[in-house]
Amino acid sequence: MNNIINDIRETARQLLADGKVDVVIGYEKGSLPLKATPCFVRSAQEVDRLIWDETCENNLASFVANTPGKKAIIAKGCDSRSLVVLIQENQLLRDDVYIIGVSCPGVVNKRKIEAEIGEILEATIAEGTISVKGMEGSKEYSFADVKDATCQTCRYPNPVIEDIHMGVTIEVSQSTPFADVIEMENKPDSERQAYFNQQMSKCIRCYACRNACPMCYCPECFVDCNSPKWLTGGVNRAENLMFQAGRVLHLAGRCVDCGACARACPQDVDIRAMNRKSAKDVLVMYHHEAGISETIKPALNEFSADDPEAFLVKE
Amino acid sequence: MIMGECQVKVYQPDTSAFKPKIAAFLCNWCSYAGADLAGVGRIQYPATIRTIRVPCSGRINPLYILKAMANGADGVLISGCHPGDCHYISGNYVARRKFALIQSLLKHVGLEDDRVSYSWVSAAEGGRFAEVVKGVTERVTALGPNKGVFKVDDGGAAGE
């Protein structure tokens, strides 16, 4: 890890010193333990702020489109897929961004640890073990046990586009894609409905998921729209579901399943369950995965004459 | 006065039976004309649909469906031109991909299968339009009133 940090800093220093980029978007140590925070480095003297470890959980692609000038970005596998989608959607010029690719071993799910030992006071990460001191005791965790749910099923830990690669690439674990969605689909309707009811009653509609999402860049989100007024502003289960379902439908064929929404959620709502269902549908019906290649058209931007239409009424 | 009341009682239909309200989004060029043909041809079909004319099935925003359910519609019917017949060449092809995903997602979150129905009806298919409305009405009636997966308590009317 330390070598990668040094490489990142050296690359950033070179880029800034040569004037190739105006800003390097990366991670720095956050004010809370086990949490890195996004940082914008604008001069070569500042590059030592940059870090890279298992706490770098934000999707930095969310900041790229509204950062003016030429920029370099530190991109994990999922971040790079977001960048591909943004480039395809003309939110970003490929020439304006220099992608420093890093293969991502996954990020830590802080919440899992906090559930066991209370608020985290101190933490150190070394060689796959995380030693944490919390309000209610200390414990050592192996990284694999406290990996975020998104990262446990990650199939693209290595960047799909990059200008330079830091460190080694990671072997992709061969698991059945969307096993969790299939398990959910096989449950009876009432059970699924109960599950989503329970999840949606937790949501407080703070829109942290929307803000963390690199694909949610609409200048005016449908939830803020007054005419037509899609949502009344009341926080109840039904409206929360309408917001989340609306968001999922806007992200259909675009969501790269980086899990930034779920990690940003203060209420621990299973936001990914719906997004992954839609991603699975897109893969099964239209054989498309978002952000894998710049040349493949997004699923909802094209059509074919023999698309499935099992949803039609029988008359 | 007394006569009036008597007459009202005589002609009072049975209001206890559930008659669903179905929001029908019909494309201007085919399904709306199909509905028109059903009317001109005096073909009877249940008076359950509330027609909303849209320029093309591709114009239908997924939020229309969710909002209709949130405002208390018991069902939603969506109908456009047959694939290949779109007035705008490809509007319904694009819509078809959207609809498939919407249908699958709504089922996943627990909305009953028959609440939202999709069909292609051409301008020449007046009889078929009536059949579609009959079928959809039957299925929605069997499901009963909107069970509120998306329904907001005040019907979303507050503040509007």
User: How many alpha carbons fall within 13 Å on the CB side of residue B30?
Assistant: 24
Q: Indicate if A192 and A315 belong to the same structural domain.
A: yes
B155 confidence band (pLDDT: 50, 70, 90): very low
- Interchain proximity A194–B158, CB inside 8 Å: no
pLDDT surpassing 70 at residue A187 = yes
What is chain A's Cα-based Rg?
20
Under 8 Å CB-to-CB from A302, ≥6 apart: which residues?
none
pLDDT surpassing 90 at residue B85 = yes
In chain B, residues with a C-beta closer than 8 Å to the C-beta of A248 are 105
Range(s) of the domain holding residue B52: 19-143
Q: Give the number of domains in chain B.
A: 1
Q: Indicate if A103 and A114 belong to the same structural domain.
A: no
Q: Are B127 and B43 in contact (CB under 8 A)?
A: yes
pLDDT in tens, A218-255: 999 999 999 999 998 888 999 999 999 999 999 999 99
The pairing of strands B22-27 and B49-54 is parallel
**Angle formed by the axes of helices A272-286 and A189-202, nearest 10°:** 130
- Interchain proximity B101–A189, CB inside 8 Å: no
Q: Indicate if A182 and A314 belong to the same structural domain.
A: yes
Q: Indicate if A35 and A97 belong to the same structural domain.
A: yes
Under 8 Å CB-to-CB from A156, ≥6 apart: which residues?
A77, A78, A81, A172, A292
CA distance A183 to chain B (A): 12
**Angle formed by the axes of helices B91-108 and A272-286, nearest 10°:** 140
Q: Does A307 touch chain B (CB under 8 A)?
A: yes
The token pair that represents A101 in the structure block: 């690719």
Residue B75 in domain: yes
- Interchain proximity B131–A229, CB inside 8 Å: no
Rounded Cα distance between B42 and B126, Å, is: 10
Residue B92 in domain: yes
Q: Indicate if A204 and A279 belong to the same structural domain.
A: yes
Could you tell me where the DSSP H helices lie in B21-90? 31-40, 62-70
Greatest distance between any 2 Cα atoms in chain A: 70
Q: Indicate if A82 and A9 belong to the same structural domain.
A: yes
pLDDT at A172: 87
CA distance A255 to chain B (A): 14
What one-character DSSP code corresponds to residue A108? B
Q: Indicate if A197 and A56 belong to the same structural domain.
A: no
pLDDT surpassing 70 at residue B11 = no
Range(s) of the domain holding residue A205: 176-315
Residue B159 in domain: no
Residue of chain A whose Cα is closest to the Cα of B109: A193
The token pair that represents A234 in the structure block: 């009341």
B160 confidence band (pLDDT: 50, 70, 90): very low
- Residue carrying the six token digits 């997602």: B105
The token pair that represents A232 in the structure block: 């009344």
Work out whether the CA dihedral A212, A216, A217, A221 comes out positive or negative: negative
pLDDT surpassing 80 at residue A2 = no
The token pair that represents A214 in the structure block: 């690199």
In chain B, residues with a C-beta closer than 8 Å to the C-beta of A222 are 63
pLDDT surpassing 70 at residue A59 = yes
SS3 A22: coil
Residue B105 in domain: yes
Among A130-134, A170-174, A207-211, B29-33, where is mean pLDDT lowest? Answer: A170-174
Residue B4 in domain: no
Q: Indicate if A29 and A163 belong to the same structural domain.
A: yes
CB < 8 Å from B in window 198-237 of A: 222, 228-230, 232-234, 236
Cα dihedral: A23, A27, A30, A34 (round 10)? 180
Q: Indicate if A78 and A190 belong to the same structural domain.
A: no
Mean pLDDT throughout A278-292? 96
Residue A151 in domain: no
Residue A299 in domain: yes
Q: Give the number of domains in chain A.
A: 3
What one-character DSSP code corresponds to residue B122? -
SS3 A270: coil
- Interchain proximity A245–B103, CB inside 8 Å: no
CA distance B107 to chain A (A): 8
Where are the extended beta strands (E) located within chain B? Answer: 22-27, 49-54, 75-80, 116-120
The token pair that represents B130 in the structure block: 């009536």
pLDDT surpassing 60 at residue B44 = yes
Residue B52 in domain: yes
Q: Indicate if A62 and A123 belong to the same structural domain.
A: no
pLDDT in tens, A133-151: 999 989 999 999 999 999 9
pLDDT in tens, A155-164: 999 999 999 9
Rounded Cα distance between A98 and B88, Å, is: 40
- Interchain proximity B84–A194, CB inside 8 Å: no
Q: Which amino acid is at A18?
A: D
pLDDT at A174: 75
What residues are paired with B53 via a beta bridge? B26
Pairs across A and B, CB distance < 8 A = 132
**Residue of A272, A311, A314 best to disrupt the B interface, most CBs of B under 10 A:** A311
Of B63, B101, B159, Cβ closest to residue A278: B101
Residue of chain A whose Cα is closest to the Cα of B84: A305
Q: Does A313 touch chain B (CB under 8 A)?
A: yes
Under 8 Å CB-to-CB from B13, ≥6 apart: which residues?
none
Residue B44 in domain: yes
Q: Indicate if A161 and A275 belong to the same structural domain.
A: no
**Residue of B61, B81, B94, B104 best to disrupt the A interface, most CBs of A under 10 A:** B104
Of A248, A304, A315, Cβ closest to residue B135: A315
Residue A161 in domain: yes
- Residue carrying the six token digits 């969710």: B66
User: How many alpha carbons fall within 13 Å on the CB side of residue A224?
Assistant: 8
- Interchain proximity B83–A232, CB inside 8 Å: no
Return the CATH number at B139: 3.40.50
Q: Indicate if A86 and A224 belong to the same structural domain.
A: no
Residue B66 in domain: yes
What residues are paired with A166 via a beta bridge? A102
